[in-house]
Structure 1
């Protein structure tokens, strides 16, 4: 073993692993001390995944860091070895997700902590599961041993000269998972950016390494419709101030808002997700993080999804700090930043302000994610200047109104009517905080599609027994 990996003394006890004895490091919140006399075994993928047995709980690294090479070989291993009841626990993964195919039923069962597109069909057909949970609380599942992980499949950058790998584009709940998993298998990729912050893990904590040099999955920017551009303009011109600390959720619409902010000054960024448009804001000089109170001068995020431009920007960049989601999404930390402006999207809103973001009726679509974490962080901003924003087009692509008298049967409320402050569509901005139900209905009907307003007004009268009014 190389001398560079030799600590001075043994600081931590031995514990048992799922495949025998191992010197597994018992993590403390901020310590990643290299272990004594220990380094990972390099294997081929087909050999590495043989550590996974029937009944195991396996954490899978998510988003752009999805270890698809390992997952492909795990799918083959599942069939050949006749595995049963292997539970795969993850936030959204990107890739084919073979384990969700009907032919793997009984072998693998996916358990999404936030639903990605590759899991929706399996969940709808009862072959996979989903857990309603705030992103900020996912690490508690591992910390409190509610989920006892047997194996973690992760995707890392190669070890540096000191033996440290990086979790790359996805720290989120992955750091907590590797702290508690009994056995860690890492897909090592030269194209994984070496991100900084809480993302570093010493190779001596990893049991098995598998080399696979491959491009990360990319999400190309989507075409922005006139409606989305108008919503972005309304938010940028009326709700985002110079010096604001931004959070943007997942989707084309929050990303469009960032495109409208190139002329703003001294913006900060503290969010769970970073995208290509944040890079553009930095290049334009609009995003400096100079006014932030939490990690002044740094972009704070938990995971990244975008294109190669973003991944290149993140590589070894001290301007960006990746942290666990229980840090990035901690309401008490978010609220300390100036003018916190949280921009998130939804699927449906009723006339009282209830916001459905995770399902279409009874069909599960996504999850809670960080929406409530940042809606509350903005609402409770210590400077009193925070703005929690929910934005959506007035209708779906099929022309169905998103503002409705009542949510669909089975629809889930992610952001309650008490949490709502600003609702924005292409027809304007509704400010609901402090307004009673008939006032809320009035404000929401004003920003609904014109073709829907008369029916919404009638429905509001039937529900509240009085006319909506300001």
Structure 2
């Protein structure tokens, strides 16, 4: 049988494909831009026929019909490996169950530890002449999901870019049970937030520690994006890219001639990533581009691999940090707002890399509803605050008021150093708290 014949044999409507889902099933809805949309609509129609269908996703970028149809969560129970803005909206009306991860380990969780998947659904590119459907810009743990599932449904979207590997970037038609031709909806456009003055100050402090030949990992958010855009306008050259997330800033760096990748120890010359989120500029750039190499996350994020690149500079965000050096990058008290993601992996990798550095960045403060200044450097993390990076991991902390290297510092040195980069209006209050906690010893380095 030819691939074309096999394709026609397995081609069904979305309504027919989702008939295989049964009450009580665990299913996977795809991750990032590979989350299904036509199949989502079809499954939502079965709301009154089904109960207790558990759905996995990761960084859901779209409004989901199953959650609109079932706001109480009786039929469809939503699980996430990393919360997104869309997930936070869902959480206003129903539970969203987050699972904490070390992202580089996620393929193993899926293959060995989670409940077996009855059905995997995922968006893919059109089939190529060799019978393969490319996963698009989300290799992550997608192959592991397919390996764990009893049935596999692919939803073809002609708008998905074909992302070259690497490995584990595609699935063969012989492994697929049903093919659904989707509505070819455009991919989510996620532009970088506007650069604030604070973002630019922090980015400039990081650029001071960079030099020709560094390998760059950018996390999500305004500050990493600011670093990328400032690199594009800098005199730096021969930089490398080994990252979890590819964003628009990397395209600008490449077009400015900064990303030769010639100094990398792994995948020299290649821009290595496991998923991409940005705008059409990025999606057009990665489509069929041999400069780029997409890998599963247990390759991109594994510290033992990424740290092989000398001078690895990792740049990630935080929500808040306490005076002991514990970093929360994913929750606001008890409210989960994102996830561990790859920050844990890359904080480790940056320090393991020869000549490498790990930066965790945040504005020093925010304005409360009453207009008062509240410090993001706290005496202790608030109740419910999640420790994303332990104090023993101790990356370099950067605010608009400076940067502080925590490695080797005692508790009083950390408290002093962190208070030194806090907002000036909050420092006296932090000193008082440090005194009460028995971790304050004023030295001649702070006034």
What TM-score, normalized by structure 2, do the two folds share? 0.93
The residue number in structure 1 matching 2:366 is: 396
- Asked if 1 retains the 8 angstrom alpha-carbon contact of 2:412 and 2:439, the reply is no
Which one of the candidate residues 231, 235, 244 is aligned to 2:214?
244
In the alignment, structure 2 segments of 5+ residues that lack a partner are: none
- What is the deviation of 1:400? 2.3
Partner of 2:426: 452
Q: 1:38 deviation in Å? A: 8.4
Cα deviation, residue 330, structure 1: 0.7
For residue 71 of structure 2, give the secondary structure of its aligned residue in structure 1.
Answer: helix
Secondary structure of the corresponding residue to residue 296 of structure 1: coil
Deviations 1:205-257 (A, max 9, x none): 11111112221111022111111111111111x22221111111111211111
Residue 119 of structure 2 is matched in structure 1 by 151
Give the structure 1 partner of residue 44 of structure 2.
75
The question of 1:414 aligning with 2:414 is answered no
Aligned to 2:51: 84
Query: Matched residue of 2:293: which SS?
Result: strand
Distance 2:44 2:364 in 1: 42
Question: Separation in 1 of the partners of 2:162 and 2:440?
Answer: 59
* SS at structure 1 position matched to 2:314: strand
Task: Name which of 156, 165, 174 aligns with 1:204.
Answer: 174
Task: Name which of structure 1's ranges 116-125 and 101-110 shifts more when overlaid on structure 2.
Answer: 116-125
Asked whether the 8 Å contact 1:40–1:204 carries over to 2, the reply is no
Separation of aligned partners in 2, 1:39 and 1:191? 21
Structure 1 equivalent of residue 84 of structure 2: 116
Q: What secondary structure is seen at the aligned counterpart in 1 of 2:117? A: coil
Counterpart of 2:226 in structure 1 is: 256
SS at 1:132's partner residue? coil
Q: Secondary structure at the match of 2:389?
A: coil
Aligned-pair distance for 1:40? Answer: 5.9
Instruction: Please state how far the C-alpha of 1:338 moved relative to its aligned partner.
Output: 1.1
- Distance verdict in 2 for CA 1:177–1:267, change over 3 Å: same
Residues 1:2 and 2:6 aligned together: no
TM-score, scaled relative to structure 1: 0.89
Distance 1:437 1:126 in 2: 41
Where does structure 1 lack aligned partners over 5 or more consecutive residues? Answer: 6-36
State the 1:418 CA deviation.
0.9
Residue 94 of structure 1: CA displacement? Answer: 0.8
C-alpha distance in 1 between matches for 2:278 and 2:30? 17
User: What is the rounded CA distance, in whole Å, between the counterparts of 1:228 and 1:369 in structure 2?
Assistant: 21
SS of aligned partner of 1:58: strand
CA change 1:49–1:299 in 2 (3 A) is same
Kept in 2: contact 1:99–1:110 (CA 8 A): no
1:81-230 equivalence runs, <5 A: 82-101=49-68, 103-123=71-91, 127-197=95-165, 198=167, 199-212=169-182, 213-230=184-201
In the alignment of these two chains, the number of paired residues is: 434
Give 1:60's aligned residue: 29
CA distance in 1, matches of 2:396, 2:309: 19
* Alpha-carbon distance change, 77 to 287 in structure 1, aligned in 2, over 3 angstroms: same
Q: Does 2:273 correspond to 1:301? A: yes
Q: State the shift of 1:162 in Å.
A: 1.4
Aligned Cα root-mean-square deviation (Å): 1.8
Q: CA deviation at 1:465?
A: 5.4
Bigger drift between 55-64 and 150-159 goes to 55-64
Change in Cα spacing, 1:157 to 1:457, as seen in structure 2 (3 Å) is same
